[in-house]
Amino acid sequence: MRKVYAFQAFNYSLLFYILFFFFSVSFKIIFTSSSKAPWANLNSKNKSMAESSRFDHDLVLAHKFPETTYIYTERDAAVYALGVGACGRNAIDSDELKYVYHEDGQQFVQVLPTFSALFSLGSLTNGSIDLPGLQYDPRLLLHGQQYIQIYKPFPSSASVINKVSLAGLHDKGKAAILELETKSYEKESGELLCMNRSTIFLRGAGGFSNSSHPYSYSNYPKNQAPALKIPKSQPFAVFEDCTQPSQALLYRLSGDYNPLHSDPMIAEVAGFSRPILHGLCSLGFAVRAIIKCICRGDANTIKTISGRFLLHVYPGETLITEMWLEGLRVIYQTKVKERNQAVLSGFVDLHHLTSSL
């Protein structure tokens, strides 16, 4: 009799496991298909780029961007500072500890000027842009350039209102370039804090206009573009810094969740051997080097920041930033030491030089 019960109990538990397995697999299929990231729909790695991208430039240009709000606290400012390597080599570095800790309380921490690039993140969905008239493969999107004008130092916490507009759209044949301008106002005072212009390089999305007269629109002065000549002379200062293998995983916590920086499979489809570093993280490292070597730790001397991302950076690589001083302009170039390749270049304009220079 006991054997019969044992046999029945065994059958019931077998049935339970079969049902559990069946439901969990079906649930997983339903769940994953309904929560797909935009790039997950494009499942063919070899899908022709032209096939997956279509552009209607008039529709893109006519788009009115909604206002976005970005709220940050002292904690966000500190997590960002750690994400761009502040105190990464020396936890008591007197030039950098002020971005993560203040003896009188966290409300006194200072905010790095490159933090402002995060204000425009509201225009992106998982690090990708979604506009009517713009159809492209989001896995092939790269950050091309960033231009930042700073009008006043940022408070340690704030609510920021962003007004976004299209600043440029270009057909480069193999790629389309989209430029978004974000003016950020402090909600409480209504004061303009900064302006960010982000250049987004959409690989494979070009060729939407007549190739003998490619479409090109921009509404800002040419001298704000970061393409410039790197001097042949010896640099005024050189700063070497290590990124950590986990750098992109830490940096993404500041709000750019594009899986290109965390997911090995997405990185491979995008053409990289592993996830790459966010361009704005590399820019944060380079500007920190300039604050340290040229501004002598005083970030408030920075007026304008401009950078072009020349090549990807893999987390864990060593960044060497070379700086040349031309009046109140710092021209800089950042190289990856391990590959001896330039990955970023641009300029930083200062209000004044520190007296100790």
Ligand X SMILES: CCC/C=C/C(=O)SCCNC(=O)CCNC(=O)[C@H](O)C(C)(C)COP(=O)([O-])OP(=O)([O-])OC[C@H]1O[C@@H](n2cnc3c(N)ncnc32)[C@H](O)[C@@H]1OP(=O)([O-])[O-]
Question: Which of 162, 312, 324, 332 touches ligand X by CB under 6 A?
Answer: 312
Alpha-carbon gap, residue 255 to 253, rounded angstroms: 5
Q: What angle do CA 348, 349, 351 make, to 5 degrees?
A: 140
Q: Does 259 bind ligand X (CB under 6 A)?
A: no
Our answer to whether residue 56 is catalytic in this structure is: no
Q: Which residues contact 123 (CB under 8 A, 6 or more apart)?
A: 65, 68, 129, 162, 164, 180, 182
Q: Does 309 bind ligand X (CB under 6 A)?
A: yes
Q: Which amino acid appears at position 289 of this protein?
A: A
Our answer to whether residue 71 is catalytic in this structure is: no
By beta-carbon proximity to ligand X, the closer residue of 218 and 300 is: 218
Our answer to whether residue 241 is catalytic in this structure is: no
Q: Does 182 bind ligand X (CB under 6 A)?
A: no
Q: Does 88 bind ligand X (CB under 6 A)?
A: no
As measured in angstroms, the least distance from the Cβ of 41 to ligand X is: 19
Q: Does 201 bind ligand X (CB under 6 A)?
A: yes
Q: Which of 261, 278, 290, 312 is catalytic?
A: 261
- Residue facing ligand X at closest CB distance: 144
Q: Does 114 bind ligand X (CB under 6 A)?
A: no
Question: Which of 18, 61, 311, 357 touches ligand X by CB under 6 A?
Answer: 311
Alpha-carbon gap, residue 176 to 50, rounded angstroms: 12
Q: Does 270 bind ligand X (CB under 6 A)?
A: no
Burial class (CB in 10 A: 0-12, 13-18, 19+), 237: middle
Q: Which of 143, 256, 294, 305 is catalytic?
A: 256
Alpha-carbon gap, residue 284 to 117, rounded angstroms: 10
- Residue 61 Cα distances to 29, 177, 222, angstroms: 39, 13, 19
Q: Does 177 bind ligand X (CB under 6 A)?
A: yes
Q: Give the closest residue to 181 by CA, choosing from 152, 147, 143.
A: 147
Find the part of the chain contacting ligand X (CB under 6 A) among 36-44, 138-146, 183-191, 287-295: 138-146
Size of the site for ligand X (CB under 6 A): 21
Q: Does 251 bind ligand X (CB under 6 A)?
A: no
Q: Which residues of 163-195 are buried (b: 16+ CB within 10 A; e: fewer)?
A: ebebbbbbbbeebbbbbbbbbbbbeeeeeebbb
Q: Does 279 bind ligand X (CB under 6 A)?
A: yes
* DSSP letter for each residue of 100-158: T--TT-GGG----GGGGGGGGGGG-BTTB---TTEE--GGGEEEEEEEEEESSPPPSSE
Q: Does 127 bind ligand X (CB under 6 A)?
A: yes
Q: Does 243 bind ligand X (CB under 6 A)?
A: no
By beta-carbon proximity to ligand X, the closer residue of 106 and 262 is: 262
Q: Does 252 bind ligand X (CB under 6 A)?
A: no
Q: Does 357 bind ligand X (CB under 6 A)?
A: no
Question: Which of 139, 183, 252, 278 touches ligand X by CB under 6 A?
Answer: 278
Strands 216-218, 237-242: pairing kind? unpaired
The residues that touch ligand X, with contacts defined as CB under 6 A, are: 124, 127, 142-145, 172, 177, 198-201, 258, 276, 278-279, 308-312
Catalytic residues: 256, 261, 276, 279
